[in-house]
């Protein structure tokens, strides 16, 4: 396949690229179409995250997850402690990127400036990839990065791995952990076998609807199709409507409730079979 420069395109379908092809490409540029059908003057670059991306990733995830109903339920005091999400997400994503558990694969979309040198991470996707050994066993490539440090605006800032979120409701966090993994095992993995699981995907709010998350989803769809795997996820009320449009099948609604509380949240367990991968990629192209 010959890749044309982004300036020649309004929409560039990634569905025909395998994950190995994408990982080998030094740069994948994409220009996408807005809903008003005008070409977006933005270059997007897809790549695997590195340890040096830690601060940028934490900021994107903190900002993009803020309005999620489940996030508001788990972290009811987030407005009282606005910095806790960023600080503790740095701890979480240090572990994900470092991948000591050999199960995580974090991908990012960058907005690349016209000089083709400066780039800003604007979207993040975290995949659980234990079903694909060559991805699960990958380690980060930033050899000059010390695991206890991260780069922030030219200075190094230690990662406090004992970070505790003061904005969290501990019983709700525990209910979340006690409910979703067993549900996935009993109702998704038991039926599909090993699968690719989308743990999180989000875009910096000011760059939403510009196609950055679409690039990340296409990578996952192509990777799952290449290995003949289902994609599983737990969708929010709004997110599940989007995934249904792509062709994801509903497994069931999952109620998450802390013991002794009346308030709860509902997420929808969903899966995309390999047979619908092409259809999902085509629908993403038309967004």
Q: Is the pLDDT score of 13 beyond 60?
A: no
Q: State how far Cα 51 lies from the chain centre.
A: 16
The pLDDT score that the predictor gives to residue 205 is: 96
The pLDDT score that the predictor gives to residue 5 is: 29
The pLDDT score that the predictor gives to residue 163 is: 85
For the chain, percent of residues with pLDDT exceeding 90 = 72
Q: For the chain, what are the domain ranges?
A: 8-285
Second-level CATH architecture of 8-285: 3-Layer(aba) Sandwich (3.40)
Q: How far, in Å, CA of 235 to CA of 167, rounded?
A: 23
Q: What is the mean pLDDT of residues 98-122?
A: 93
Q: How far, in Å, CA of 180 to CA of 255, rounded?
A: 9
The pLDDT score that the predictor gives to residue 287 is: 80
214's tokens: 């679409």
What pLDDT, in 10s, does the model give residues 204-251?
A: 999 998 999 999 999 999 999 999 999 999 999 999 999 999 999 999
Torsion sign across C-alpha atoms 240, 244, 247, 248: positive
The pLDDT score that the predictor gives to residue 141 is: 65
Q: Is the pLDDT score of 29 beyond 80?
A: no
Owner of token pair 């196609």: 211
Q: What is the mean pLDDT of residues 108-120?
A: 90
Q: Is the pLDDT score of 16 beyond 60?
A: no
In DSSP notation, the chain reads -PPPPGGG-S----TT--HHHHHH-S--EE--B-TTSPBP--EEEEEE--GGGHHHHHHHHHHHTTT-HHHHHH-TTTTTSTTHHHHHHHHHHHHHHHTTTS-EEEEEEEEEPTTSS-EEEEEEEEEE-TTSHHHHT-----TT--TTEEEETTEEEE--TT---TT--HHHHHHHHHHHHHHHIIIIIHHH-S-EEEEEEEE-GGGTTSSHHHHHHHHHHHHHHHTT--EEEEE-HHHHHHHHHHTPEEEEEEEEE-TT-S-EEEEEEEEE-GGGHHHHHHHHHT-
The pLDDT score that the predictor gives to residue 50 is: 95
The pLDDT score that the predictor gives to residue 140 is: 82
Are 121 and 110 in contact, with CB atoms under 8 Å apart?
yes
Q: What is the mean pLDDT of residues 89-95?
A: 96
Q: What is the mean pLDDT of residues 140-149?
A: 52
Q: What is the mean pLDDT of residues 2-15?
A: 30
39-43, 167-171, 215-219: lowest mean pLDDT where?
39-43
The pLDDT score that the predictor gives to residue 64 is: 96
82-86, 142-146, 186-190: lowest mean pLDDT where?
142-146
Rounded mean pLDDT of the chain? 83
Q: What is the mean pLDDT of residues 20-44?
A: 40
Question: Parallel, antiparallel, or unpaired for β 149-152 and 119-128?
Answer: unpaired
Q: What is the mean pLDDT of residues 154-173?
A: 77
Q: How far, in Å, CA of 252 to CA of 188, rounded?
A: 10
With cut-offs at 50, 70 and 90, classify the pLDDT of residue 28: very low
What pLDDT, in 10s, does the model give residues 45-70?
A: 999 999 999 999 999 999 999 989 99
């Amino acid at each position: 396949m010959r890749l044309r420069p982004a300036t020649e395109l309004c929409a560039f379908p990634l569905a025909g690229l395998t994950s190995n092809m994408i990982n080998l490409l030094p740069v994948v540029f994409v220009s996408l179409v807005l809903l008003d059908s005008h070409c977006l003057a933005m270059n997007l670059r897809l790549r695997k995250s590195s340890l040096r991306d830690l601060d940028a990733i934490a900021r994107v995830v903190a900002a993009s997850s803020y309005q999620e109903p489940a996030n508001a339920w788990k972290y009811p005091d987030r407005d009282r402690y606005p910095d806790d999400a960023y600080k503790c997400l740095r701890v979480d994503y240090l572990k994900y990127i470092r991948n000591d558990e050999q199960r995580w694969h974090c991908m990012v979309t960058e907005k690349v400036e016209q000089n083709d040198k400066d780039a800003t991470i604007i979207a993040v996707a975290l995949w659980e990839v234990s079903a694909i050994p060559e991805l699960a066993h990958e380690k980060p490539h930033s050899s000059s990065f010390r695991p206890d440090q991260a780069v922030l605006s030219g200075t190094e800032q230690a990662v406090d791995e004992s970070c505790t979120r003061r904005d969290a409701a501990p019983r709700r966090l525990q209910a979340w952990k006690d409910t979703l993994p067993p549900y996935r095992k009993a109702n998704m993995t038991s039926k599909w076998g090993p699968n690719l699981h989308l743990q999180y995907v989000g875009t910096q709010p000011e760059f939403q609807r510009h196609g950055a998350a679409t690039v990340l989803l296409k990578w996952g769809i192509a990777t799952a199709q290449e290995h003949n795997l289902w994609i599983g996820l737990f969708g929010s009320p709004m997110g599940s409507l989007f995934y249904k449009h792509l062709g994801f099948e509903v497994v069931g609604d999952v109620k998450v409730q802390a013991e002794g509380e009346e308030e709860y949240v509902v997420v929808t367990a969903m899966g995309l079979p390999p047979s619908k991968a092409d259809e999902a990629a085509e629908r993403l192209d038309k967004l």
